[in-house]
A and B are shown apart, each in its own frame.
Chain A
């Protein structure tokens, strides 16, 4: 058995159909547990007050947005190298989900920044980088819609995805090396001394898992939709030729 078997749309539909209810259910459970724990059962921070509760959506959304781009990059590379249509459709399916998470991170960041920094927005290098990242998502989705030939669209968006990966990488690691500006350092780190306090850390990790599972569930649904649409278009093209 090889992973490439699932490049076959029929096999992908069969497998994704089996795992989807479990992934969706687990996403709902994990998100509910993490958010209820974080919102209702954790204390206010001594410095940031109750705004610390925004961490349970801001950090998981930002993390999932960057991971979504990584999924798109891998799927795009598979398309470019091996020409598997399912991988191109997975990349296409992931983009609106990633864009939504990026917008959530930007908006919740603004809501958090206003009381803490005294401004909704600052041209801080990390914030600006994330805004450019959001624009890459918009451009990626627009390019898919603008190009009529699906293979050409997959090629062009694949190249755009590779270019945009620079900003995804910068968004991931900017908190570690871009010290100027208003944004704080990493909330989670392999170095335990830098992590947020345990009382916030556990529900935060659960929320991060919940957002990742939600991403996976939505991508599976959307990829299945793309495959169905592609099949319907192929049948309609056959009808027109007959």
Chain B
């Protein structure tokens, strides 16, 4: 199934590998920041509701 990349295997697999790493890093960072923002907002809204009675 895996195509024969010959003498260029390092260049091709390196390109795909670095791309996968960079995209995975961006995705993880995006999801972590989203979770943090959601938690921060939920906590702030809860405190406001409590304060407003």
Contact = CB atoms under 8 A, between A and B. Distances in A.
A238 B30 contact: no
Contact of A104 (B6, B19, B27, B48): B19
B44 A235 contact: yes
Mostly helix, strand, loop or mixed at chain B's interface? helix
A222 B27 CA distance: 10
Interface string B1-43: 1011111110110111011001101110111011001101101
Nearest to A114: B11
User: Interface size class for chain B?
Assistant: 35 or more
A39 B41 contact: no
Nearest to A60: B19
User: Interface size class for chain A?
Assistant: 35 or more
B37 A50 contact: no
Mostly helix, strand, loop or mixed at chain A's interface? helix
A239 B26 contact: no
Contact of B48 (A96, A226, A229, A238): A238
Interface of A: 39-40, 44, 49-51, 53-54, 57-58, 61, 96-97, 100, 103-104, 107-108, 111-112, 114-115, 214, 218, 221-222, 224-226, 228-229, 231-232, 235-236, 238-239, 242
Shortest 5 CB-CB distances between A and B: which pairs? A235-B44, A228-B37, A232-B41, A50-B5, A108-B15
Interface of B: 1, 3-9, 11-12, 14-16, 18-19, 22-23, 25-27, 29-31, 33-34, 37-38, 40-41, 43-45, 47-48, 51
Given A228-B34, A229-B41, A235-B44, 4 more contacts: A54-B11, A115-B8, A225-B37, A232-B41
